[in-house]
Amino acid sequence: MRPVIIITGPTASGKTEVSHQLAKDLKGEIVSCDCRQIFRFMDIGTAKPPKSYQKELPYHLIDIVNPDESFTVARFVKEAESHISEIQKRGKLPFVVGGCGLYIKRLVSGLFPSPMPDIRLRERLAKEEGLYDELIKIDPESAKKISPGDKKRIIRALEVFYQTGKPISLLQKEKTPESKFRFTMIALKIERDLLYKRINERVDRMIEEGWIDETKQLMKMGYEYGLCSMEGLGYRQIMDHLSGKTELSEAISIIKRKTRQFAKHQLTWFRQDKKFIQLLPSEVKNFLLMQIDSI
C-alpha cells in the first residue's frame, strides 16, 4: 500500500511551497490540515495557498465552512479520510499538509471516544473566568499540554469532563481503531532564528497584501469578537486596532510576538513526537523517492 505523506512543521517553515512542488512532481493532491484555512473569506490571515497553486493542483478542505460555523476534529478526520481514499482511487499520491498537530494526531492515531459538542455548555463556559485554573484541578495532565491562552481547547477539555465525568486525557488513552492508511510523517526542519525572521517578514507581507481590509470586511459581515475563527492569531489584534483599542504598529508587534511563541510551541511538539522524520525542505523529495514504490 502506498503511503499517505504528511508534511508539517511550524508556521512559516515553508510547508506550502515544499508540498505544492512535491505534489506536482510526484502526481499528488493536497489535503489541507489547517484548522483555520477551512474558513471562507479568511484568505490572507490564514496564509492559504495562492490561487495560482489551487489552479495547478487539487486542494481539499479549504474554504468549506463560514467563520461562524463549527468544525470539529471528528469532522476533519472523517472528511480527510474520505478525500485520501478518493485520491488513492484516482491513482494519485495524497499529501496531508498543515501545522495543526491535533488534526494530524487524530488522523493518524484515531479518534478517542468522546461526547458530541454541547453548544449551550460551551457558551456558558466561554463567559466564565478562571477556566484554566479549573482545568488544572480536574485534569492536570491536559493542563500541562494546553496553553493558558488556548481558550478553545480549555473549554473542550472541561466540556468533555462535565459530560462524561472523566478527564479528556484519560479518554484519549483508550484504544482507538487502527487507521486503514499507512503514513509517512515528515516535519520540516528550520533554525529558530531563521524561522523568526521569516515570521516577521510574512506578517509584514500579509499586512501589505490587505490583511486589515480583509478583517474589516469580515467585521462588516458580522464576523468578529467571540467567534473561534476570529480569535486566531492576527485577526483579534487587527480587530483591536480597527476598534480603536491599539495603534497599528502595536497590533503588528503583538501579532509577530504571538506568532513566534506559537511557532516555538509547534517546534517542540513536532520534535518530541518520534513518529515524525525531521528533514530540511531540500531533503524531502529524495527521501520520498527512496521510500515510495512505483511513483
Q: Which domains does the chain have, with CATH numbers?
A: 113-173 (1.10.20.140), 193-263 (1.10.287.890)
Compute CA distances 147 → 78, 143, 226, whole Å: 27, 7, 19
User: Using an 8 Å Cβ cutoff, are 10 and 34 in contact?
Assistant: no
pLDDT band at 165 (very low <50, low <70, confident <90, very high): very high
pLDDT at 53: 98
14 exposure class (CB count in 10 Å sphere: 0-12, 13-18, 19+): middle
Q: What's the mean pLDDT in 232-254?
A: 96
b/e map 92-125, b = 16+ CB within 10 Å: bbbbbbbbbbebbebbbeebbebeeeeeeebeeb
pLDDT at 175: 60
Answer with the residue of higher pLDDT: 154 or 226.
154
- How far apart (Å, rounded) are the C-alpha atoms in residues 33 and 37? 8
pLDDT band at 293 (very low <50, low <70, confident <90, very high): low
- What's the chain's average pLDDT? 93
User: Using an 8 Å Cβ cutoff, are 57 and 30 in contact?
Assistant: yes
The answer, yes or no, to whether residue 198 has pLDDT greater than 80, is yes
Strand partners, 94: 29
Q: What percent of the chain has pLDDT over 90?
A: 75
Does the CA dihedral 31-37-43-48 come out positive or negative? Answer: negative
Predicted TM-score (pTM) of the model is 0.86
Report how far Cα 290 is from the mean position of its chain's Cα atoms.
28
Q: What's the mean pLDDT in 90-110?
A: 94
The answer, yes or no, to whether residue 179 has pLDDT greater than 90, is no
The answer, yes or no, to whether residue 241 has pLDDT greater than 70, is yes
3-state DSSP assignment of residue 188: strand
